[in-house]
Amino acid sequence: MANIDAAFGYRPIGAVGSGVNNGGTTLYTISDNYGTAIYKGDHVMQSGGYVIAGTASGATNLGVFNGCFYIDPTSKKPTWSNYYTQTNVTATGSISGGTTIDAYIYDNPFTLFEAQCDGTIAKTDIGKNTDSVLGTSSTVNGLSVTEIDSGSEATTAGLQVKIIGITKDPENDDASSANANWYVMWNEHVKLGTGITGT
């Protein structure tokens, strides 16, 4: 049966060893007037003490973005958003007072995530590592369209996530078809290092 092609980024589902997903995030900041959009479910990195958008194969992953809190420059009211773009926090080049934007990040390096694959990954690839595929997300719902890369799975240590298993969702569990959902965990993370060889 064909899988539903509807990427959603990295969705936390638990922790290694069947740990409970308590939804816990850590507060970080995005630099005032940062110029790259970040969406809920996007993986992020850290630079100069600030959260920055993740790259398709970068090793210094901090975690997964779960939204942000900022002072709206027009209404001057505290505002929550699933996504960050330069335009939703500033129209004039700076938030009033030059404040930073609060970013809530799933940063536990042992969190398990569910993510859609951009093509086909075989069940025999469980235990291997792979990178991310970035897409163009929408401000309509603020959700990421990042997927895991079906073309880079390998035993190589220098890949972002480790494939743990296939989803239990019956609408996206067909490994023989494109766009199945897979369970992954960090292989390269700022709290773990540059990753270990896959099996």
pLDDT greater than 90 at residue 199: no
Give the percent of the chain with pLDDT over 90: 69
Domain extents in the chain: 11-18+109-186, 26-106
Residue 87 has what pLDDT?
67
- Return the structure tokens found at 120: 């086909």
Pick from 144, 196, 188, 195: nearest CA to 45: 188
User: What 3-state class would DSSP assign to 104?
Assistant: strand
Among 25-34, 70-79, 113-122, 137-146, the minimum mean pLDDT is found in 70-79
pTM: 0.91
Residue 86 has what pLDDT?
79
**b/e burial code for range 66-97 (CB count within 10 A of at least 16 → b):** bbbebbebeeeeebebbbbbeebbbeeeebee
In tens, the pLDDT along 115-168 reads: 999 999 999 999 999 999 999 998 899 999 999 999 999 999 999 999 999 999
C-beta of residue 129 within 8 angstroms of C-beta of residue 162 = yes
Q: What are phi and psi of 146, to 5 degrees?
A: -65, 140
Residue 98 has what pLDDT?
54
